Amino acid sequence: MNRRQLRVVSLMTGLLITLSASVAFAQSQARVRQDRTTIWRIDAPVVAATVPAGTLLDVVGQAGSFYKVLIPEQFGGHGEVGRIAAGSFVFVPGSGDRTISHDGTAEAAPTAPADSRPASHSSPPRRHDEPAMAVRGFGQAGLMRPSAQESFRTVADQVYGFAFGGGVQLRVRNGLFVEGSFDQFRKTGERVFVYDDTVFPLGITDTITVRPLLFTAGYRFGSTRPVVPYVGGGLGVFHLTERTPFSEAGESIDETHTGYRMSGGVEFRGGQWLGTAFEAAYTHVPDALGNGGVSEIVDERDLGGFEFRVKLLFGR
Protein backbone atom coordinates (compact mmCIF):
# COMPACT_ATOMS: atom_id res chain seq x y z
CA MET A 1 0.00 0.00 0.00
CA ASN A 2 1.50 3.30 -0.96
CA ARG A 3 1.59 6.44 1.15
CA ARG A 4 -1.31 8.08 -0.64
CA GLN A 5 -3.57 5.09 -0.15
CA LEU A 6 -2.52 4.87 3.47
CA ARG A 7 -3.48 8.49 3.95
CA VAL A 8 -6.88 7.93 2.36
CA VAL A 9 -7.52 4.91 4.56
CA SER A 10 -6.48 6.80 7.69
CA LEU A 11 -8.64 9.74 6.77
CA MET A 12 -11.68 7.61 6.03
CA THR A 13 -11.29 5.51 9.14
CA GLY A 14 -10.84 8.59 11.28
CA LEU A 15 -13.86 10.23 9.72
CA LEU A 16 -16.02 7.20 10.27
CA ILE A 17 -14.86 6.74 13.85
CA THR A 18 -15.41 10.42 14.62
CA LEU A 19 -18.83 10.35 13.05
CA SER A 20 -19.66 7.16 14.85
CA ALA A 21 -18.46 8.53 18.18
CA SER A 22 -20.30 11.79 17.87
CA VAL A 23 -23.49 9.96 17.04
CA ALA A 24 -23.02 7.50 19.87
CA PHE A 25 -22.24 10.08 22.52
CA ALA A 26 -24.67 12.73 21.44
CA GLN A 27 -27.52 10.65 22.75
CA SER A 28 -27.62 8.66 26.00
CA GLN A 29 -30.44 6.71 27.43
CA ALA A 30 -31.96 7.15 30.85
CA ARG A 31 -34.58 5.26 32.79
CA VAL A 32 -37.31 7.05 34.73
CA ARG A 33 -37.16 6.28 38.46
CA GLN A 34 -40.68 7.07 39.60
CA ASP A 35 -44.18 6.70 38.34
CA ARG A 36 -45.93 9.79 37.04
CA THR A 37 -42.72 11.62 36.33
CA THR A 38 -43.39 14.77 34.37
CA ILE A 39 -41.73 15.73 31.14
CA TRP A 40 -42.15 19.43 30.56
CA ARG A 41 -42.40 21.22 27.27
CA ILE A 42 -39.11 22.87 26.39
CA ASP A 43 -40.62 26.22 25.56
CA ALA A 44 -43.13 26.64 28.34
CA PRO A 45 -43.90 25.38 31.83
CA VAL A 46 -46.50 23.05 30.44
CA VAL A 47 -46.67 19.30 30.96
CA ALA A 48 -45.81 17.53 27.76
CA ALA A 49 -46.16 13.99 29.09
CA THR A 50 -46.37 11.99 32.26
CA VAL A 51 -44.41 8.73 32.15
CA PRO A 52 -44.27 5.71 34.47
CA ALA A 53 -41.21 4.34 36.23
CA GLY A 54 -38.92 2.33 33.97
CA THR A 55 -39.66 4.32 30.86
CA LEU A 56 -36.57 4.56 28.67
CA LEU A 57 -35.78 8.03 27.46
CA ASP A 58 -33.31 9.32 24.91
CA VAL A 59 -31.40 12.15 26.54
CA VAL A 60 -30.28 14.72 23.98
CA GLY A 61 -28.99 17.60 26.05
CA GLN A 62 -28.89 19.50 29.28
CA ALA A 63 -30.44 22.80 30.26
CA GLY A 64 -29.58 23.88 33.78
CA SER A 65 -30.90 21.38 36.32
CA PHE A 66 -33.04 19.81 33.63
CA TYR A 67 -32.14 17.38 30.91
CA LYS A 68 -33.56 17.45 27.42
CA VAL A 69 -35.17 14.20 26.36
CA LEU A 70 -37.14 12.98 23.40
CA ILE A 71 -40.78 12.60 24.31
CA PRO A 72 -41.54 8.88 23.72
CA GLU A 73 -44.01 8.09 20.96
CA GLN A 74 -46.23 6.06 23.22
CA PHE A 75 -46.72 9.16 25.34
CA GLY A 76 -47.67 11.40 22.51
CA GLY A 77 -44.26 12.34 21.23
CA HIS A 78 -43.53 12.88 17.56
CA GLY A 79 -39.87 13.68 17.83
CA GLU A 80 -40.38 16.67 20.11
CA VAL A 81 -37.90 17.41 22.84
CA GLY A 82 -39.04 17.97 26.41
CA ARG A 83 -37.20 18.55 29.67
CA ILE A 84 -37.08 16.47 32.78
CA ALA A 85 -35.68 17.09 36.24
CA ALA A 86 -32.23 15.68 36.79
CA GLY A 87 -33.17 13.66 39.86
CA SER A 88 -36.08 11.86 38.29
CA PHE A 89 -34.09 9.38 36.19
CA VAL A 90 -30.89 7.34 36.09
CA PHE A 91 -28.62 6.94 33.09
CA VAL A 92 -28.55 3.48 31.64
CA PRO A 93 -25.04 2.02 32.05
CA GLY A 94 -23.21 1.64 28.74
CA SER A 95 -25.43 4.05 26.87
CA GLY A 96 -22.61 6.54 26.33
CA ASP A 97 -20.31 8.42 28.60
CA ARG A 98 -23.04 10.91 29.39
CA THR A 99 -21.30 13.68 27.59
CA ILE A 100 -24.44 15.53 26.85
CA SER A 101 -24.71 18.54 24.63
CA HIS A 102 -25.32 21.52 26.90
CA ASP A 103 -28.00 23.71 25.32
CA GLY A 104 -26.90 22.19 22.13
CA THR A 105 -23.78 24.33 22.04
CA ALA A 106 -21.25 23.05 24.49
CA GLU A 107 -20.21 19.74 25.90
CA ALA A 108 -20.56 19.41 29.62
CA ALA A 109 -20.23 16.47 31.91
CA PRO A 110 -23.27 16.66 34.12
CA THR A 111 -23.18 15.14 37.47
CA ALA A 112 -25.18 12.03 37.67
CA PRO A 113 -28.12 12.31 40.03
CA ALA A 114 -26.88 11.70 43.56
CA ASP A 115 -29.77 9.48 44.30
CA SER A 116 -29.27 7.12 41.46
CA ARG A 117 -30.03 3.54 42.18
CA PRO A 118 -28.70 0.52 40.39
CA ALA A 119 -30.59 -0.19 37.22
CA SER A 120 -31.39 -3.64 38.47
CA HIS A 121 -33.62 -2.07 41.08
CA SER A 122 -35.66 -0.42 38.41
CA SER A 123 -38.42 -2.02 36.49
CA PRO A 124 -37.19 -4.19 33.59
CA PRO A 125 -36.88 -2.41 30.25
CA ARG A 126 -39.84 -2.72 28.01
CA ARG A 127 -39.45 -4.51 24.66
CA HIS A 128 -41.34 -1.78 22.89
CA ASP A 129 -37.99 0.09 22.50
CA GLU A 130 -37.13 -2.07 19.50
CA PRO A 131 -39.50 -2.42 16.59
CA ALA A 132 -40.53 -5.90 15.63
CA MET A 133 -38.85 -5.47 12.26
CA ALA A 134 -36.67 -2.70 10.90
CA VAL A 135 -34.99 -1.96 7.61
CA ARG A 136 -31.69 -0.17 7.39
CA GLY A 137 -29.55 0.87 4.54
CA PHE A 138 -25.81 1.06 4.75
CA GLY A 139 -22.76 2.14 2.89
CA GLN A 140 -19.47 0.37 3.35
CA ALA A 141 -15.82 0.84 2.61
CA GLY A 142 -13.20 -1.76 3.18
CA LEU A 143 -9.70 -2.90 2.69
CA MET A 144 -9.44 -6.27 0.99
CA ARG A 145 -6.64 -8.76 0.81
CA PRO A 146 -7.42 -11.33 -1.90
CA SER A 147 -6.60 -14.96 -1.27
CA ALA A 148 -4.87 -15.01 -4.68
CA GLN A 149 -2.08 -12.93 -3.24
CA GLU A 150 0.65 -14.01 -5.60
CA SER A 151 -1.46 -13.38 -8.68
CA PHE A 152 -2.42 -9.89 -7.59
CA ARG A 153 1.06 -9.06 -6.39
CA THR A 154 2.52 -10.15 -9.74
CA VAL A 155 0.19 -8.08 -11.85
CA ALA A 156 -0.61 -5.16 -9.56
CA ASP A 157 2.56 -5.03 -7.46
CA GLN A 158 0.50 -5.05 -4.28
CA VAL A 159 -2.12 -7.26 -2.77
CA TYR A 160 -4.39 -4.94 -0.81
CA GLY A 161 -7.12 -2.92 -2.40
CA PHE A 162 -10.18 -0.93 -1.51
CA ALA A 163 -13.75 -2.09 -1.83
CA PHE A 164 -16.73 0.23 -1.75
CA GLY A 165 -20.41 -0.57 -1.72
CA GLY A 166 -23.63 -0.64 0.20
CA GLY A 167 -26.70 -2.66 0.96
CA VAL A 168 -29.91 -3.16 2.84
CA GLN A 169 -30.35 -4.91 6.15
CA LEU A 170 -33.56 -6.27 7.56
CA ARG A 171 -33.44 -6.97 11.27
CA VAL A 172 -36.00 -8.51 13.50
CA ARG A 173 -36.54 -8.19 17.20
CA ASN A 174 -35.13 -11.58 18.16
CA GLY A 175 -31.65 -10.59 16.97
CA LEU A 176 -31.75 -12.16 13.57
CA PHE A 177 -31.01 -10.17 10.50
CA VAL A 178 -30.72 -10.68 6.78
CA GLU A 179 -28.73 -8.47 4.52
CA GLY A 180 -28.21 -7.89 0.84
CA SER A 181 -25.06 -6.09 -0.17
CA PHE A 182 -22.95 -5.24 -3.14
CA ASP A 183 -19.53 -3.74 -3.47
CA GLN A 184 -16.71 -3.35 -5.91
CA PHE A 185 -13.08 -4.25 -5.62
CA ARG A 186 -10.80 -3.02 -8.39
CA LYS A 187 -7.09 -3.39 -8.97
CA THR A 188 -5.13 -1.96 -11.84
CA GLY A 189 -1.73 -3.27 -12.76
CA GLU A 190 0.35 -4.28 -15.71
CA ARG A 191 0.22 -7.43 -17.78
CA VAL A 192 3.28 -9.58 -17.45
CA PHE A 193 5.05 -12.67 -18.54
CA VAL A 194 6.45 -14.96 -15.89
CA TYR A 195 9.41 -17.21 -16.50
CA ASP A 196 11.35 -19.06 -13.84
CA ASP A 197 10.08 -16.80 -11.06
CA THR A 198 11.11 -13.73 -13.04
CA VAL A 199 8.32 -11.31 -13.85
CA PHE A 200 8.56 -9.30 -17.04
CA PRO A 201 6.09 -6.38 -17.07
CA LEU A 202 4.80 -5.74 -20.57
CA GLY A 203 3.62 -2.16 -20.21
CA ILE A 204 -0.03 -3.03 -20.85
CA THR A 205 -2.54 -1.82 -18.28
CA ASP A 206 -4.61 -4.61 -16.78
CA THR A 207 -7.70 -3.87 -14.72
CA ILE A 208 -9.44 -6.54 -12.73
CA THR A 209 -12.79 -5.80 -11.11
CA VAL A 210 -14.78 -7.97 -8.72
CA ARG A 211 -18.39 -7.05 -7.89
CA PRO A 212 -19.92 -9.34 -5.30
CA LEU A 213 -23.70 -9.38 -4.78
CA LEU A 214 -24.15 -11.13 -1.44
CA PHE A 215 -27.01 -12.31 0.71
CA THR A 216 -26.14 -12.76 4.36
CA ALA A 217 -28.11 -13.99 7.36
CA GLY A 218 -26.85 -13.42 10.85
CA TYR A 219 -27.45 -12.88 14.50
CA ARG A 220 -26.96 -9.76 16.59
CA PHE A 221 -26.07 -10.38 20.22
CA GLY A 222 -28.19 -8.09 22.40
CA SER A 223 -29.75 -6.11 19.68
CA THR A 224 -31.10 -3.41 22.00
CA ARG A 225 -27.68 -2.50 23.35
CA PRO A 226 -25.73 0.38 21.94
CA VAL A 227 -22.78 -1.91 21.20
CA VAL A 228 -23.91 -4.97 19.32
CA PRO A 229 -21.60 -7.80 18.25
CA TYR A 230 -22.88 -9.85 15.35
CA VAL A 231 -21.95 -12.75 13.11
CA GLY A 232 -23.28 -13.80 9.75
CA GLY A 233 -22.82 -16.01 6.76
CA GLY A 234 -24.17 -16.17 3.27
CA LEU A 235 -23.59 -16.65 -0.38
CA GLY A 236 -23.70 -14.66 -3.52
CA VAL A 237 -22.55 -14.11 -7.03
CA PHE A 238 -19.22 -12.57 -7.89
CA HIS A 239 -19.02 -10.72 -11.18
CA LEU A 240 -15.45 -10.76 -12.43
CA THR A 241 -14.02 -8.70 -15.26
CA GLU A 242 -10.49 -8.28 -16.52
CA ARG A 243 -9.70 -5.78 -19.25
CA THR A 244 -6.87 -4.07 -21.02
CA PRO A 245 -7.03 -0.96 -23.18
CA PHE A 246 -6.57 -3.29 -26.16
CA SER A 247 -9.16 -5.86 -25.22
CA GLU A 248 -11.22 -7.21 -28.04
CA ALA A 249 -14.16 -9.55 -28.08
CA GLY A 250 -13.12 -12.84 -26.63
CA GLU A 251 -10.05 -11.44 -24.95
CA SER A 252 -11.71 -9.77 -21.98
CA ILE A 253 -12.85 -11.70 -18.97
CA ASP A 254 -16.49 -11.20 -18.05
CA GLU A 255 -17.67 -14.02 -15.82
CA THR A 256 -19.87 -14.74 -12.85
CA HIS A 257 -18.97 -17.14 -10.06
CA THR A 258 -20.69 -18.33 -6.92
CA GLY A 259 -19.03 -17.69 -3.60
CA TYR A 260 -19.55 -17.76 0.13
CA ARG A 261 -18.95 -15.34 2.92
CA MET A 262 -18.58 -15.41 6.69
CA SER A 263 -18.46 -12.21 8.63
CA GLY A 264 -18.46 -10.85 12.13
CA GLY A 265 -18.26 -7.44 13.65
CA VAL A 266 -19.37 -4.92 16.19
CA GLU A 267 -22.01 -2.31 15.64
CA PHE A 268 -22.11 0.91 17.57
CA ARG A 269 -25.61 2.28 17.78
CA GLY A 270 -25.81 5.98 17.75
CA GLY A 271 -29.45 6.50 18.57
CA GLN A 272 -32.40 5.15 16.71
CA TRP A 273 -31.33 6.09 13.21
CA LEU A 274 -27.59 5.82 12.91
CA GLY A 275 -24.98 3.22 13.55
CA THR A 276 -21.47 2.32 12.64
CA ALA A 277 -20.12 -1.18 12.31
CA PHE A 278 -16.61 -2.53 12.05
CA GLU A 279 -16.65 -5.85 10.33
CA ALA A 280 -14.21 -8.55 9.27
CA ALA A 281 -15.26 -10.88 6.48
CA TYR A 282 -13.87 -13.86 4.67
CA THR A 283 -15.11 -14.77 1.23
CA HIS A 284 -14.41 -17.94 -0.67
CA VAL A 285 -15.01 -18.09 -4.42
CA PRO A 286 -13.67 -21.45 -5.52
CA ASP A 287 -12.37 -22.13 -9.05
CA ALA A 288 -12.90 -18.61 -10.28
CA LEU A 289 -9.17 -18.34 -10.97
CA GLY A 290 -6.44 -20.71 -12.02
CA ASN A 291 -7.67 -21.43 -15.52
CA GLY A 292 -5.32 -18.99 -17.21
CA GLY A 293 -3.16 -15.99 -16.57
CA VAL A 294 -0.80 -15.66 -13.68
CA SER A 295 -3.24 -17.40 -11.36
CA GLU A 296 -2.79 -20.57 -13.37
CA ILE A 297 0.98 -20.36 -13.11
CA VAL A 298 0.95 -19.84 -9.35
CA ASP A 299 -1.99 -22.22 -8.93
CA GLU A 300 -4.35 -19.87 -7.14
CA ARG A 301 -8.00 -20.64 -7.67
CA ASP A 302 -9.89 -18.59 -5.09
CA LEU A 303 -11.22 -15.15 -5.99
CA GLY A 304 -12.23 -14.39 -2.40
CA GLY A 305 -10.21 -13.08 0.47
CA PHE A 306 -10.22 -11.27 3.78
CA GLU A 307 -11.76 -7.89 4.14
CA PHE A 308 -11.95 -5.38 6.92
CA ARG A 309 -14.73 -2.91 6.39
CA VAL A 310 -16.51 -0.06 8.02
CA LYS A 311 -20.25 0.31 7.61
CA LEU A 312 -22.42 3.32 8.11
CA LEU A 313 -25.97 2.25 8.84
CA PHE A 314 -29.02 4.44 8.41
CA GLY A 315 -32.35 3.46 9.89
CA ARG A 316 -33.68 1.75 12.96
Partner 1 sequence: MSQSLRTLVIGALSVATVTLILLSSHLKAQEPQAEQFPALHTERAQAYVRALTDRLPYVPGDILVKFRADADMAARTRALSVMRTGANAPEAVYVGEALLTHSSAEPNPEVLATILRRQPEVEWAQPNYINRLHSIPNDPGFSEQWNFELMNLPKAWDINPGGNANVLVAVVDTGANTTSGMTSFRLWTGSRFENVSVPFVANPEVPAARVMQGRDFTILGGPVRDMQGHGTHVAGTVLQETNNGVGQAGIAYNARLLPLKACLGFWDVQIVLGQLGIPGFLSDGWCDTAAVAGAIRYAADSGAQVINVSIGGPSPSPIYLDALRYAVQRGTFVTIAAGNSAEEGNPVEYPAAYAAQIDGVMAVGAVGPSGKRALYSNTGTHVEIAAPGGSDREGQLAMVYQTAVCKSDYDPLRTLRPRFDRYCNVPSAGTSMAAPHVAGVAALLYSQGITNPAAIEAAIKRFAKDLGAPGRDNEYGFGLIDARATLLGLGVVR
Q: Report the 10 Å Cβ neighbour count for 245.
A: 8
| Segment interacting with partner 1 (CB under 8 A) among 4-12, 20-28, 73-81, 200-208 | 200-208
How many Å apart are CA 265 and CA 289, to the nearest integer?
A: 28
Of 12, 19, 60, 194, which one interacts with partner 1 (CB under 8 A)?
A: 194
- Return the number of the residue (213 or 253) whose C-beta is nearest partner 1: 253
Note whether 200 binds partner 1 by CB under 8 A: yes
Q: How far is the CB of 144 from partner 1 (least distance, A)?
A: 14
Binding mask 237-256 for partner 1 (x = CB under 8 A): ---x-x-x-x-x--x-x---
Query: Minimum distance from CB of 299 to partner 1 (Å)?
Result: 13
Nearest-approach distance from CB 283 to partner 1, in angstroms: 16
Among 148, 163, 310, 313, binds partner 1 (CB under 8 A): 148
Residue of 71, 155, 159, 310 interacting with partner 1 (CB under 8 A): 155
Stretch that binds partner 1, among 19-27, 28-36, 56-64, 291-299 (CB under 8 A): 291-299
- The nearest distance, CB 293 to partner 1, in angstroms, is 5
Beta-sheet pairing, 37-41 with 161-172: unpaired
What's the start-to-end Cα distance of the chain, in Å? 36
User: In whole angstroms, what separates CA 215 from the centre of its chain?
Assistant: 16
Ranges of beta strands (E only) in the chain are 28-32, 37-41, 47-51, 56-63, 66-70, 81-85, 89-91, 100-102, 106-108, 133-146, 161-172, 176-195, 198-220, 227-243, 253-270, 274-284, 305-314
Q: According to the binding rule CB under 8 A, does residue 295 interact with partner 1?
A: yes
- Cα–Cα distance measured from residue 275 to residue 278, given in angstroms and rounded to the nearest whole number: 10
Residues from 253 through 272 that contact partner 1 (CB under 8 A)? 253
Residue 83 CA to residue 77 CA, distance in Å, equals 13
Residues 60, 118, 108, 38, Cα dihedral to 10°: 50
The nearer residue to partner 1, 39 or 208, going by C-beta atoms, is 208
Is 289 a binding residue for partner 1 by CB under 8 A? The answer is yes
